[in-house]
């Protein structure tokens, strides 16, 4: 009796080294995508500070990636300075201090997001969504649209980090299942 021929549909025994290589490539891609998503927080913090510097330096432009909350505080400080010149320096100091504190918090969110604290990443994205809705409420559609793009990019990073966690969990469970198979 002859041996049955290998079916074209039957899966070939995969090479363990090839599987490990593919998993490594997927993991590296997840790290890169996750970091790219988390890095948005650093850009947001930096450009919000630049926006504050431009606002108090007499500029009439702003970066669309910056935060609306710091722009609002800067606007209030400028209005106070126009209506009460004696309080202009104090108002500007408070606005700059607020922008710096806000930037520090945003950088902290970015740093913790890169450490894969997904709950922090999610809260940061939620707050940035609210910030974008403020731009939308004020009719700054370009800034609101860019917030949407940044949130999309952040969500890709968030999902990549989630996928990394699933890969790690599967890889940690794999040696246990192999050991159980060897005992049989």
CB atoms within 10 A of CB 121: 26
CB crowding 93-103: b at 16 or more within 10 Å, else e: eebbebbeebb
Rg (CA), the chain: 25
pLDDT band, very low/low/confident/very high, at 124 (cuts 50, 70, 90): very high
Region 113-117: what's the mean pLDDT? Answer: 95
pLDDT tens digits, 54-98:
888 877 777 788 899 999 999 999 999 889 989 889 999 999 999
Q: What tokens were used for 11?
A: 């899966």
| CA dihedral (11, 12, 16, 22) positive or negative | negative
The secondary element (H helix, E strand) that includes residue 88 is helix 88-114
Place of tokens 């609002």: 72
What digits encode the pLDDT tens for the residues 138-159?
999 999 999 999 999 999 999 9
Domain ranges of the chain: 39-167
Residue 80 is predicted with a pLDDT of: 93
Q: How many whole angstroms separate alpha carbon 74 and alpha carbon 98?
A: 9
The two three-digit tokens of residue 148, written as one number? 């949407």
């Amino acid at each position: 009796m002859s041996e049955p021929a290998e079916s074209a549909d039957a899966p070939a025994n995969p090479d363990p080294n090839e599987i490990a290589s593919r998993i490594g490539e997927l993991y590296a891609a997840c790290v890169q995508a996750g970091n790219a998503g988390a890095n948005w927080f650093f850009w947001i913090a930096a450009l919000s500070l630049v926006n504050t510097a431009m606002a108090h330096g007499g500029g009439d432009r702003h970066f669309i990636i910056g935060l609306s909350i710091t722009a609002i505080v800067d606007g209030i400080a400028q209005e106070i300075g126009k209506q009460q010149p004696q309080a202009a320096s104090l108002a500007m100091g408070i606005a700059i201090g607020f922008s710096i504190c806000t930037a520090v918090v945003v950088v902290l969110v970015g740093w913790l997001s890169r450490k894969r604290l997904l709950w922090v990443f999610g809260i940061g994205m939620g707050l940035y969504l609210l910030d974008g809705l403020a731009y939308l409420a004020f009719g700054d559609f370009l800034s609101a649209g860019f917030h949407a793009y940044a949130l999309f990019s952040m969500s890709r990073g968030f999902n990549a980090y989630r996928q990394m966690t699933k890969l790690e969990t599967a890889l940690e469970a794999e040696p246990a299942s192999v050991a159980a198979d060897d005992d049989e």
